[in-house]
Amino acid sequence: MFNHLKGIRVVELGTVLAGPIAGALLGDLGAEVIKVEPVEGEAARLWPPVDEAGESAFYLAFNRSKKGIALDLKSDEGRDIYLKLVQTADIIIDNYRMGVSDSMGIGYDAIKSIKADIIYCSISGFGRDGPRAKEPAMELLMQAFSGLMDLTGEPDRPPSRAPTATSDLGAGLYAVVGALAALRTRDATGEGSLIETTLLESQMAFLTNFWAAWEVSGELPKRAGSAHPSMVPYQAFHVKNGAVILACMTEKHFTAACQALSLDKKYTQDPQYRSQDARKAHREEILDVFSAALADYTVTDIVEHMLKHGVPCTPINNLEQVLEDPQVTFRGGLAHVQHPRSGTIHMPRLAIRFDNTTPDTYQAAPLLGQHTEHVLLDLGFSQDDIQRLHKTHIVKTTPV
């Protein structure tokens, strides 16, 4: 982990993905992140696949670089412990369902009254207010509601789900950006902030170019599979032993691709093919010609051939092929995380480098209640206090 946020304490009320990824990123940057879970653990701990040690791959992936404590926040004593903890915090990340934290007396207003300079990151589906504020808002629903799913998939097929959680991940990233900006403001003014980001608005922001295209053209964007609505050819093509992406973004790219494939000179000389708009009008013809010309190449040969001619081209890799690529290997590949039960886990590094450095190792996701005792001792509780709280299920402790 880096040390850029050393001395910053983050308390995370995070569940599933958006809150947890925000906490993990801040932890990767050096903040002390304390994840607060219910004593039975958050739901994502049970999501498959689960390894031989009983640990969820999903939970391990999004909860590294943190300490973990388990509290019964619905109890008076558990809530009091939480309020004592947040008085030592700089940042709170809360992505509980809208209204839940407030109903337990631990929402923004309650925290601000005891910690005026707190930076409170509220992550929700639709927002803290408005007619849909309390509606369910998990990732799949947000992909559908935001317009992303309507744009994903082949044009003659039903809408598809993006395989990664773009809405959750986007909201988590925006929460971190907001938290870092708020830290800068607090350093200058001493004032805290309520930061709000939503899955819906994050996903809408990720679709910026589609909103712009609709406004300029007056036409609603449509599903295009791997193709680009405005560039031809700019999509996947099947070759002898797999598939590649060919991306002709400019006239120079298109001309070079035609010459590399020895296509009829009309495609580089006839005005009806000499601009992106013109090629859009002849999309099917051009795709048929390129598909036929590419079909006899192997992935390796066509990528090498196109790059030699200055045409952007890349294989469509599976995860194993990505990991084996010399560029990924040169940059360090995956990071190593040592987990007390699961052993060595491999996962992507923080996608930021400072002065050409990136950590090789990270702190593994915590066991349920792994750091409860440590954190409570730090807050002034005695061993007898902690044992009593554990026996009465106000907290859960898990020694390693």
Contact 253, 310 (CB under 8 A): yes
CATH of residue 285: 3.30.1540.10
Contact 20, 12 (CB under 8 A): yes
Same domain, 71 and 187: yes
Same domain, 33 and 126: yes
Structure token pair of residue 293: 């010309």
285 within a domain of the structure (yes/no): yes
Catalytic residue among 28, 168, 355, 360: 168
CA-closest candidate to residue 43, choices 67, 66, 63: 63
* Distance, CA of 386 to CA of 324 (rounded, Å): 48
Sheet of 32-37: strands edge to edge? 193-198, 119-124, 91-94, 9-13, 32-37, 67-71, 395-396
Q: How many structural domains does the chain have? A: 2
Per DSSP, 150 falls in state G
Same domain, 100 and 170: yes
| Structural domain for 98, as ranges | 9-206+355-396
Q: Quote the pLDDT of residue 230.
A: 87
Same domain, 139 and 286: no
* Distance, CA of 202 to CA of 354 (rounded, Å): 26
Same domain, 308 and 168: no
Tell me which residue has tokens 């940057």: 29
133 within a domain of the structure (yes/no): yes
227 within a domain of the structure (yes/no): no
283 within a domain of the structure (yes/no): yes
CB neighbours of 385 closer than 8 A, spacing ≥ 6? 376
280 within a domain of the structure (yes/no): yes
355: phi then psi, degrees, rounded to nearest 5 = 50, 45
CB neighbours of 353 closer than 8 A, spacing ≥ 6? none
Active site residue 270: no
Same domain, 260 and 196: no
Q: Quote the pLDDT of residue 358.
A: 87
Structure token pair of residue 255: 């001309």
CB neighbours of 208 closer than 8 A, spacing ≥ 6? none
Same domain, 65 and 188: yes
296 within a domain of the structure (yes/no): yes
Structure token pair of residue 55: 């640990």
CATH of residue 155: 3.40.50.10540
* Distance, CA of 311 to CA of 247 (rounded, Å): 7
CA-closest candidate to residue 279, choices 258, 297, 309: 258
Give bridge partners of residue 36 from the DSSP assignment.
69
Give bridge partners of residue 198 from the DSSP assignment.
124
pLDDT, tens only, 220-257: 999 999 999 889 999 999 999 999 999 999 999 999 99
327 within a domain of the structure (yes/no): no
* Distance, CA of 17 to CA of 51 (rounded, Å): 19
Same domain, 198 and 55: yes
Q: Mean pLDDT, 10 residues at a time, over the chain (400 residues)?
A: 92 95 97 97 93 92 96 96 97 94 95 97 95 92 96 93 95 97 96 97 95 93 91 95 96 95 92 90 94 96 97 96 95 91 92 89 93 96 96 91
Same domain, 112 and 246: no
Q: Any alpha helices (H) in 130-206, and if so which ranges?
A: 139-146, 166-189, 199-206
Same domain, 183 and 108: yes
pLDDT, tens only, 316-371: 999 999 999 999 999 999 998 999 999 999 999 999 999 998 888 889 999 999 99
Same domain, 243 and 202: no
CA atoms within 13 A on the CB side of 2: 17
Q: Biggest alpha carbon distance in the chain?
A: 86
Contact 196, 127 (CB under 8 A): yes
Same domain, 197 and 55: yes
Burial environment of residue 112 by CB neighbours within 10 A (0 to 12, 13 to 18, 19 or more): middle
